[in-house]
Amino acid sequence: THFGFRTVPEESKEALVRGVFDSVASSYDLMNDAMSFGVHRLWKDSFVSLLRPGSSGPMRCIDVAGGTGDIAFRILDHARETHGDRETRVDVVDINGEMLKEGHERFKKTMYHNTPQVAFIEANAQALPPETFPDNTYDIYTIAFGIRNVTSIVDVLREAHRVLKPGGTFACLEFNKVTNPLIAQLYDQYSFSVIPLLGTILAGDHASYQYLVESIRRFPSQGDFARMISNAGFAVGGDIEGDGCAWRDLWGGIACIHTGVKL
Ligand code: SAM
């Protein structure tokens, strides 16, 4: 084992993850840009345009593990810029109050601040409180670079299915398995040496970024994850683009978009 995190028992994973994001919250956006050379922005843009928020009237969206609100911001911009829609709403949900606080600060500088279009709510994706998140509420459920951090992916998918309306869309953007062996080798070198080093230099925090790299390694392959989505009661791929694909690799699988429609 590279970093010793493998021995952490599952029940303490939540506490560990909370600690990781507590310590990186203020440097999170900077680190994202540095580690991915800004590419995460393009991936997030593709992710949101694929979902076409606002295309069929105002939508209720939930962005889980929403952190500092990158996806929420894009959803609202897309709805407004492409469809003239100022009524689509996004609930940004995260287990970590520090990340949400950063997000709230960011939104203060935008036109969405103090409107019903955005709300920040602290909650665990594995057990969304039904009082706040009733069944059949949302048109779109997004989770970007969040699901690999949770203790139980199955629980998260079950909750996603519960809070979505029938016909609603589940969409996940996550680091996945690189399929090209040469890219895979370069990527491994990069992620195991450069990322923790950048973590140390830019964020003064080596261990948290080691954890992030390790969590990418352990995430299921594209096909295995698609099967989990299907088992949770979704039609994988759905009719998002009419091509029926269960997932779309970005950059040879470094990242990947999975979608599903609630049956
Ligand atoms: N979605 C944002 C983005 O793409 O920039 C943030 C991604 S960040 C890598 C992962 C986020 O998942 C963190 O903000 C973390 O607090 C959150 N998280 C981890 N476990 C969670 C859980 N069980 N429930 C809700 N959020 C969780």
ipTM (interface pTM): 0.99
Residue 212 covered by a domain:
no
254 within 8 A of 216, measured Cβ to Cβ: no
Is the confidence at residue 216, as pLDDT, over 90? no
Segment 113-132 mean pLDDT:
96
Residue 110 covered by a domain:
yes
Domains held by the chain: number: 1
d(CA 107, CA 68): 9
The boundaries of the domain holding residue 148 are 38-177+220-262
- More reliable by pLDDT, 18 or 114: 114
Residue 71 covered by a domain:
yes
| Number of the ligand 1 atom closest to the C-alpha atom of 156 | 23
250: domain CATH number is 3.40.50.150
Residue 107 covered by a domain:
yes
Q: What is the pLDDT of residues 5-17, one digit of tens each?
A: 333 445 567 777 7
94 lines ligand 1 (CB under 6 A): yes
d(CA 45, CA 26): 22
Residue closest via CA to ligand 1's atom 5 equals 70
- More reliable by pLDDT, 33 or 120: 120
Residue 128 covered by a domain:
yes
Q: Which of 136, 146, 116, 124 is nearest to 40 (CA)?
A: 146
Residue 20 covered by a domain:
no
Residue 196 covered by a domain:
no
Residue 102 covered by a domain:
yes
Of 106-115, 149-158, 220-229, 232-241, minimum mean pLDDT range: 232-241
